[in-house]
Amino acid sequence: MAPPLKAVTLTHVRYQRGDQLGHFLAWVSLIPVFISLGGFVSHFLFRRELQGIFFALGLIISQFINELVKKSVQQSRPETCAILETCDSHGWPSSHSQYMFFFAIYFTLLTYKGIGLSGGRQKLIVGFVPWPLAFLTMYSRVYLGYHTVAQVFAGAALGSFLGALWFWVVNSLLICYFPVIEESALGRMLYIKDCSHIHNVLKFEYDNARAARKNLAGKSAKDQ
């Protein structure tokens, strides 16, 4: 007899046919996947900045901790797990909620640290962006029947704590090693860079891009 099939719970999302809100919240539940693939993979391919790399590393560590806690506590999912075919996995704490609240806390702290932004109003607006998504994700997991209220709040609390802790670890303890990583053989081979010492990264890159274009235009004019 073949062993029972097991779903990848991060992408295994079901909703009742005809439920428009459920359909919307099913897509909301996939936000962690979009952030991981669309955000951090793109960041590494095109930016390779150490703050972003350690941000992604923290999310990976957080998810490992989530699995360890789930296996230790072994709390069952709600009764709807039978319909959703998720009864073979544990529910406390919610990994989706933990992911999103880790992301929201770290993103907000990084924003207020001043990377790429200088105005207080800009920081307030940008720092607010991930929070509606985090709460929607938490709500979606209960609405769709994957978790209880207690399980999503546990995930949110653990994600918030780990996000704040990892931000402190990176920006208080590990940041002094950023120049070493940047100048290492691997760092130079992969073009990994450290922008944490630059107050406004966006303006710095904008000014340098304009200066490089003007310099190139000047050389072209001389060649002619």
Backbone angles phi, psi at 52, to 5 degrees: -65, -40
Apex 60 CA angle, 158 and 155, nearest 5: 20
Residue 94 to residue 153: CA distance in whole angstroms: 8
Question: Could you report the per-residue pLDDT of 82-93, keeping only the tens digit for each?
Answer: 776 677 778 889
The stretches of the chain forming alpha helices (DSSP H) are 20-28, 31-34, 42-46, 50-73, 81-84, 95-113, 120-128, 130-143, 149-168, 178-183, 185-189, 201-223
According to the model, what pLDDT value does residue 6 have? 59
Residue 152 to residue 106: CA distance in whole angstroms: 19
Taking the alpha carbons at both ends of the chain, their separation in whole angstroms is 78
- pLDDT classification of 38: cutoffs 50, 70, 90: confident
Answer yes or no: are the C-beta atoms of 51 and 110 closer than 8 Å: yes
- Which residues lie closer than 8 Å to 160 by C-beta, 6 or more apart? 101, 102, 104, 105
Question: Could you report the per-residue pLDDT of 128-187, keeping only the tens digit for each?
Answer: 888 999 999 999 888 888 889 999 999 999 999 999 999 999 999 999 999 999 999 998
Backbone Cα Rg of the chain:
21
- Residue 212: burial class (beta carbons within 10 Å; 0-12, 13-18, 19+): exposed
- Residue 18: burial class (beta carbons within 10 Å; 0-12, 13-18, 19+): exposed
**3 state SS of 107:** helix
Q: Which of 13-17, 44-48, 96-100, 163-167 has the highest mean pLDDT?
A: 163-167
Answer yes or no: are the C-beta atoms of 137 and 100 closer than 8 Å: yes
Q: Which of 94-98, 108-112, 153-157 has the highest mean pLDDT?
A: 153-157
Locate the domains of the chain by residue range.
20-223
Q: What percent of the chain has pLDDT over 70?
A: 87
Strands of the chain (E only): list them: none
Residue 156 to residue 213: CA distance in whole angstroms: 46
* Residue 71 pLDDT > 60: yes
Higher pLDDT residue, 118 or 80?
80
* Residue 35 pLDDT > 60: yes
According to the model, what pLDDT value does residue 221 have? 66
* Residue 218 pLDDT > 80: no
According to the model, what pLDDT value does residue 112 have? 78
> What are the b/e assignments for 155-176, b being 16+ CB within 10 Å?
bbebbbebbeebbeebbeeebe
The whole-model pTM stands at 0.83
The pLDDT mean for the chain works out to 83
According to the model, what pLDDT value does residue 9 have? 57
Maximum pairwise Cα distance, the chain: 78
According to the model, what pLDDT value does residue 114 have? 62
- Which residues lie closer than 8 Å to 88 by C-beta, 6 or more apart? 4, 6
Answer yes or no: are the C-beta atoms of 32 and 96 closer than 8 Å: yes
* Residue 61 pLDDT > 80: yes
Residue 25 to residue 9: CA distance in whole angstroms: 15
